Amino acid sequence: MDKLIIEVRVNEYAPRESNRLIPFTADELGRDAAAVHNAGASIVHFHPRQPDGAPAHALADYEAAITQIRRQSGVLINPTLGQITVGGSALDRLRPIEALARSPLLRPELCGIDPGSTNIDVYDSTAQRFRSGDRVYANSHDTLQHFCRRLRELGIKPALACWSIPFVRSACALIDMGLIDDPPYFFFVCGEGGTLGAHPATPEGLRAFTDHLPRHRNLVWSVGCKGGNLFPLAMAAIAAGGHVAIGIGDFPIRNWANPRMRGWSMRWSASPAWWVARSPPQPRHARCLGSPQTKLAASRIPAVFNSPLKLPCLDTVPTSNPTTSGLRF
């Protein structure tokens, strides 16, 4: 089995009220990239933020963040396109990435695109109401085709963020059109905590994704969870040949608000990998993850998930170097 890729979603647009360690500034992003890299992560996904936490979309914000991440770590970089927070047309979301690609030092290795549209309002089950009612994340097929063609020209690999089965099917169409190079990299978005526009973080939710992957292609897939704890599902994903994308941007993990705990979530997410002989590799290895021998093993997901999930003590986890084994750029 391929080595395990751990992608860290360091901040998203999460507020510090949920966890005071969520990084906003470029210096904080660089510091945390170094910490999670040392703990076994290979990829960092980040959102540029202003010092007060507000979304930041200026090219200078991207440049400052990537400069600090590169200076302090060796991880691969996957910046956001801004989701619904960017004004203007959908194509404007790609402008900072196009500008970054002019510099070999700033060009990211990955860029997430969402091959579908969904409602992203969060439901508050306690108050029995949505926290907002008009947030629609729209991605037309014209926009997606433009993103794929442009990212290929820029030498950046798309990370296909799929919130539901229609996203997977649209991604497969883009692959069939020859717009995405092998191996395609799927990121399955699960949702808890009122995030209803994504699959639930359950064995059935994950299995629904993997059941609709093309069986004839060499590919790579990873799973994350917005608004919920990924750990219960991580063992199933790892044992099935998948990878994990985790971080306090998606789930605050409030009891890890101690600075001494920074990066330990990566060690915990890597712990189940030792049970199935999948140690985290060096970031340089992740560039070619997805060998022809990769198996989806989706049918194993429910059985693996239902087995007792006992993670080894951190002190007993073997030390290893992080990986990106298999992604090709």
| Residue range 125-159, pLDDT digits in tens | 999 999 999 999 999 999 999 999 999 999 999 99
Q: What percent of the chain has pLDDT over 90?
A: 58
User: Is the confidence at residue 327, as pLDDT, over 90?
Assistant: no
Residue 326 lies in a domain: no
Asked, for residue 328, whether it belongs to a domain, the answer is: no
User: Rounded distance, CA 161 to CA 90, Å?
Assistant: 16
pLDDT given at position 312: 29
Nearest to 72 by CA among 120, 20, 36, 110: 36
Residue 1 is assigned to a structural domain of this protein? no
Whether residue 284 is contained in a domain is answered as: yes
252 contact partners, CB below 8 Å, separation of at least 6:
14, 18, 19, 22
Q: Quick one: pLDDT at residue 101?
A: 97
pLDDT over 60 (residue 318): no
Does residue 327 form part of some domain? no
Q: How many whole angstroms separate alpha carbon 171 and alpha carbon 113?
A: 10
- Tell me how far apart the alpha carbons of residues 109 and 284 are, in angstroms, rounded to a whole number: 11
Q: What pLDDT does residue 308 have?
A: 30
Query: Per-residue pLDDT averaged across 23-37, rounded?
Result: 93
Distance CA 227, CA 250 (A): 5
Domain housing 198: 6-316
pLDDT tens across 246-262, in order?
Answer: 888 888 776 554 544 55
321 lies in some domain:
no
Q: Tell me, what CATH number does 167's domain have? A: 3.20.20.70
* pLDDT value for 320: 38
Split into its structural domains, the chain has a count of: 1
Find out whether the peptide bond into 183 is cis, omega within 30 degrees of 0.
Answer: yes
- Within a domain: residue 49? yes
At 83 the three-state DSSP class reads: helix
What whole-number percentage of the chain has pLDDT above 70?
Answer: 76
Count Cβ atoms within 10 A of the Cβ of residue 197 and give its class: 0-12 exposed, 13-18 middle, 19 or more buried: buried
pLDDT tens-place string over residues 172-196: 999 999 999 999 999 999 999 999 9
Q: Is residue 329 part of a domain?
A: no
pTM of this structure: 0.83
